[in-house]
């Protein structure tokens, strides 16, 4: 009995030792997160075990939004993105402040890295890809051109980027509402048919003319002299004789001026592509004597002098552009009746002022100009005789 208990105890001890050995082997073979044993030397030599590699990166500048061609770049338009150092382009930019204030050479899409060759410092450096002038115009505005010369353009002192006001003057005449022709109208006499009539033109400077109307048709006789052809008006009788008064000269125009556009930005003075460019004058070297009998070399042509600008382009609203176009067309049709004047504004002044149209009546009332009285004396209008200066040689 005692021997049997001893055998059972011995078997239990052996079982425990066996279990402990199995657990030890399991832990050593990587179970429960244990370390991985080295690869077997007898394994396939073509199998490569991947080893994780750490990649060095850096931050470069990219567009946070779409940036249009020619648009000025601000800090809000930029952000940084992670880029591998090994593949970093030489033109990449790491500092956002370096691109602020630059302008996009081309349209840059959101998320696209911005390189130094994609920006320019000023609009003058933009490549000939479309119109550079259009880049300078804000959305909602248009550019239109006006005539420009010494008299209407501040002695040609206006430069690109200045602000100007546009003043227009009109010389107005009375016209017939139906005929749309300048008054006074011309008169005509209608003679019934078969009426014997002789008409004699007796106006000064006109040759005599007789018209016989003995025919079967009505005849219209037009006056040929200004005293007889213009329609006048009846005046009060003088010495019991009715008086018919006609104008002695053509109608005088009435002038009015008004500022129609204020604070217009000057886009360009002159043509955008100059027709005449200055040619450098060749440096005169030592004179070379021509061989006897040969033709001497002609001197180089003189440097052409650029012509002064005769046109100016301003930036206005679409409605103001229609006004400018109408004024341009009227000036082309009636060059003596329409005049355009440009006035230069102070730098940085964007205020607008309500103005009143200026007429002859406005001038007399606003500046308290008195109407001269009719006197019994006046100034001598005849020119004084002048002696011709003569150079006396001693």
pLDDT tens by residue, 79-94: 999 988 887 888 899 9
The answer to whether residues 338 and 264 belong to one domain is yes
Domains: count for the chain: 3
Is pLDDT above 70 for 215?
A: no
Check residue 290 and give its pLDDT: 61
The answer to whether residues 241 and 324 belong to one domain is no
pLDDT bin (cut points 50, 70, 90) of residue 201 is: very low
Check residue 36 and give its pLDDT: 52
- Asked, for residue 183, whether it belongs to a domain, the answer is no
For range 260-271, the mean pLDDT: 94
- Asked, for residue 357, whether it belongs to a domain, the answer is yes
Check residue 295 and give its pLDDT: 72
Check residue 137 and give its pLDDT: 86
Check residue 232 and give its pLDDT: 79
The answer to whether residues 318 and 261 belong to one domain is yes
- Asked, for residue 215, whether it belongs to a domain, the answer is yes
Specify the pTM. Answer: 0.59
The residue that leads in pLDDT, 121 or 338, is 338
The answer to whether residues 146 and 261 belong to one domain is yes
- Asked, for residue 147, whether it belongs to a domain, the answer is yes
Check residue 114 and give its pLDDT: 92
Check residue 3 and give its pLDDT: 64
Check residue 4 and give its pLDDT: 67
The answer to whether residues 112 and 236 belong to one domain is no
The answer to whether residues 162 and 230 belong to one domain is no
Check residue 44 and give its pLDDT: 59
The answer to whether residues 239 and 269 belong to one domain is no
The answer to whether residues 119 and 147 belong to one domain is no
Check residue 291 and give its pLDDT: 67
Q: Which of 84-98, 295-309, 364-378 has the highest mean pLDDT?
A: 364-378
The answer to whether residues 205 and 268 belong to one domain is no
pLDDT bin (cut points 50, 70, 90) of residue 191 is: low
Low-confidence winner among 26-30, 52-56, 76-80, 244-248 (lowest mean pLDDT): 26-30
The answer to whether residues 214 and 329 belong to one domain is no
Burial class (CB in 10 A: 0-12, 13-18, 19+), 199: middle
Check residue 277 and give its pLDDT: 44
Is pLDDT above 90 for 314?
A: yes
- Asked, for residue 258, whether it belongs to a domain, the answer is yes
- Asked, for residue 24, whether it belongs to a domain, the answer is no
Check residue 278 and give its pLDDT: 42
The answer to whether residues 258 and 241 belong to one domain is no
For range 330-338, the mean pLDDT: 95
Range of the domain at 200: 188-245
The residue that leads in pLDDT, 378 or 358, is 358
For range 232-260, the mean pLDDT: 86
- Asked, for residue 119, whether it belongs to a domain, the answer is yes
Is pLDDT above 50 for 367?
A: yes
Check residue 360 and give its pLDDT: 96
Check residue 210 and give its pLDDT: 47
For range 219-238, the mean pLDDT: 64
The answer to whether residues 260 and 344 belong to one domain is yes
- Look over the chain and give the mean of its residue pLDDT values, rounded to a whole number: 80
Check residue 269 and give its pLDDT: 94
CATH classification of the domain holding 96: 3.90.1210.10
- Asked, for residue 201, whether it belongs to a domain, the answer is yes
């Amino acid at each position: 009995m005692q021997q049997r208990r001893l055998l059972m105890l011995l078997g239990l001890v052996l079982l425990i030792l066996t279990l402990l050995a199995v657990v030890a082997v399991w832990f050593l073979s990587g179970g429960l997160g244990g370390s991985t044993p080295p690869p077997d030397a007898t394994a396939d030599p073509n199998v490569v075990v991947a080893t994780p590699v750490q990649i060095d990166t850096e931050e470069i500048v990219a567009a946070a939004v779409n940036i249009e061609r020619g648009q000025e770049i601000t800090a809000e338009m930029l952000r940084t993105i992670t880029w591998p150092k090994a593949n970093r382009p030489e033109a990449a930019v790491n500092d956002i402040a370096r691109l602020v204030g630059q302008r996009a050479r081309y349209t840059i899409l959101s998320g696209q890295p911005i390189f130094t060759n994609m920006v320019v410092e000023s609009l003058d450096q933009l490549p000939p890809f479309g119109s550079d002038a259009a880049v300078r115009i804000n959305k909602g505005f248009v550019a239109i051109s006006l005539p420009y010369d010494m008299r209407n353009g501040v002695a040609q002192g206006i430069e690109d980027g200045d602000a100007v006001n546009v003043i227009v003057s009109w010389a107005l005449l009375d016209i017939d509402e139906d005929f749309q022709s300048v008054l006074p109208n011309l008169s005509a006499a209608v003679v019934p048919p078969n009426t014997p009539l002789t008409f004699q033109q007796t106006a000064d400077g006109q040759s005599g003319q007789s018209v016989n109307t003995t025919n079967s048709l009505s005849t219209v006789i037009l006056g040929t002299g200004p005293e007889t052809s213009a329609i006048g008006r009846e005046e009060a009788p003088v010495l019991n004789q009715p008086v018919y008064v006609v104008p002695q000269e053509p109608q005088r125009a009435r002038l009015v001026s008004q500022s129609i556009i204020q604070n217009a930005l000057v886009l360009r003075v002159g043509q955008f592509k100059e027709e005449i460019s200055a040619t450098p004058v060749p440096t005169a070297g030592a004179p070379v004597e021509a061989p006897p009998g040969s033709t001497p070399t002609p001197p180089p042509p003189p440097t052409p002098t650029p012509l002064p600008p005769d046109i100016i382009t301003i930036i206005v609203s679409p409605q103001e552009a229609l006004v400018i176009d109408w004024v341009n067309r009227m000036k082309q049709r009636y060059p003596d009746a329409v005049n355009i004047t440009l006035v230069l504004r102070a730098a940085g002044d964007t205020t607008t002022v309500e103005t009143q149209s200026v007429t002859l009546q406005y001038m007399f009332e606003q500046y308290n100009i008195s109407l001269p009285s009719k006197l019994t004396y006046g100034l001598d209008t005849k020119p004084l005789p002048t002696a011709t200066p003569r150079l006396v040689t001693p």
